[in-house]
Amino acid sequence: MTDFPWFKHYPASVDKEIDYKAYLSISDLFDESVKKYGDAVAYECMGKTISFNDLERLSAQFANYLTHTLKLPKGCRVAIQMPNILQYPVVMFGVLRAGMVVVNTNPLYTTRENQFNDSGADVVVIVANFAHNLEKIKNEIPAKHVIVTELGDLLGGLKGTIVNLVVKHVKKMVPAFSIPGAVNLKSALSQGAKQSFSKTALSLEDTAFLQYTGGTTGVSKGAELTHGNIVANMQQISAWMKPKLKEREEIVVTALPLYHIFALTVNCLAMLKIGAHNLLVTNPRDMKAFIKDLSKHQFTVFTGVNTLFNGLLNQDDFKSLNFSKLKIAVGGGMAVQKATAEKWKSVTGVPLAEGYGLTETAPVATCNPIDGTERIGTIGLPLPNTEVMVADDDGNPLPIGERGEICIKGPQVMRGYWQRPEETENVMHGDWFKSGDIGVMDEDGFFKIVDRKKEMILVSGFNVYPNEVEDCIASCPGVLEVGVIGMPDPKSTEKVVAYVVPKESSLTAEEVIKHCKESLTNYKVPREVYFTDELPKSNVGKILRRKIKEAHIEKINA
């Protein structure tokens, strides 16, 4: 085994290599967890809990419906479109246990952005709130079967009925729709309950998910993730968390949507393995309700993205929560800003450990140690059985300290992009996946992301990385959020432009620029600063610079 520099900084209890083929499939992991944890709470949402045994029974019913009632064969693709509600894990595990492929789709996508056609999904399972969008394109997609659920369907009894009535008639959150032949999820489960479940044989080579990329810098593509990819990453994450986490003892806060790869692998699967109690947050944007929910639990694990952590830290009620049981907080999905990490530690007493990964790596490739030896500003060390290198444009490794493209090799790297061989070839260099991120490795094996290759700004021949400028502006008093873009400039090729969401209306562009001049070289300082009420974000809260740029171009052309 190669003695990589990062091994010197592995926590003592983390093995350099792990058995990433410990299970034949995600279904095998699921079966083991149910057997071990039985009546312990698996998921909680809106005050309702379901146990591991409940999850086994309900997911078997859904698997039966797919295989016996709809008579669908192994390998069929089932698109799921719903937020964090109890129905999500029931349906997802049901699909996997039936030997079929989960196509995770974002409920906030418009009809033009749907992945139903690209994936060739045979079935769509959708929450009623978004069914009106599906109605508009139903005749244009291949799916022959539509299953609809309402938010309160698994909350049981009077509570479920009240939630559905309030959501539909009081809050008016369910626009009218008509999809002929659509079946209610409760009816599907009822039909599935009449059949006996028989396990579908699966291997690590079978496809488990078509997981669409965020499309933050281009067209969204379906990463084909096998059972082997997901099992490997789940094993790697479990090994990395071993210094702090114990079976049956953890309560994990899942505010990121489960249809996103970060929450899917880290919160849903790695935590399932240790019997964690998973608190599903349906609408984290409602900060008041979110914090109220947090106040009822002695949570131990918290995952999120920078904007989520930053948003919570700007709520006074959050600061008064009880953090005495919190063991681990992990940030991913986008760069964790230094100001956010420092404030999080001062409020909660727990470091905010940044990790890194992509949809194509299932997702985690690196993470900071969680034993107190984390290094703020880095994405940490490669996980067990993972190699990471910084490469030049030809794929050759660069020396320590030199900037280049982050490339990743390991059992978690996807099979390829679904039905896009040319796109797959563009990102693979042998067994190495080319991330499109510019990074650097220090002599201890800690990696740091400098920025997205495509979002780098060229000012008078110098590279300017938006992350660095954003990190500086975020530390300016009076700034809530910031997004930085490059715009054409006749004198210097490009100029740095910043869009800021202020905490206080009194904040001026001059103050922001002055703050930047104290920390940044002149060519990195924004030439223009604009203020806005909000910044465009992805489904998990990642600030979309591409959308900022599009809006800015529209504005100057108007």
Q: pTM for the full model?
A: 0.87
Domain annotation for the chain: domains and CATH numbers: 7-25+225-406+437-455 (3.40.50.12780), 456-557 (3.30.300.30)
- The mean pLDDT values, 10 residues at a time, for the chain of 558 residues are 90 95 97 98 97 98 98 98 97 98 84 80 97 93 96 93 93 95 98 96 98 66 96 96 94 95 95 97 95 97 94 96 97 86 96 94 96 93 98 93 96 97 94 94 95 82 86 94 93 92 94 94 94 91 92 91
Side chain identity at residue 43, one-letter code: Y
Q: DSSP readout, 8-47? A: GGS-TTS-SS--TTSSSSHHHHHHHHHHHHTTSEEEEETT
pLDDT at residue 215, as a whole number: 52
pLDDT at residue 60, as a whole number: 98
Q: ∠409-415-418 over CA atoms, to 5°?
A: 135
pLDDT at residue 112, as a whole number: 62
Q: ∠53-201-182 over CA atoms, to 5°?
A: 65
3-class DSSP state for residue 549? helix
pLDDT at residue 214, as a whole number: 62
Cα distance from N-terminal residue to C-terminal residue, the chain: 60
Q: Which helix (H) or strand (E) holds 469?
A: helix 466-474
Location of structure tokens 């300290």:
401
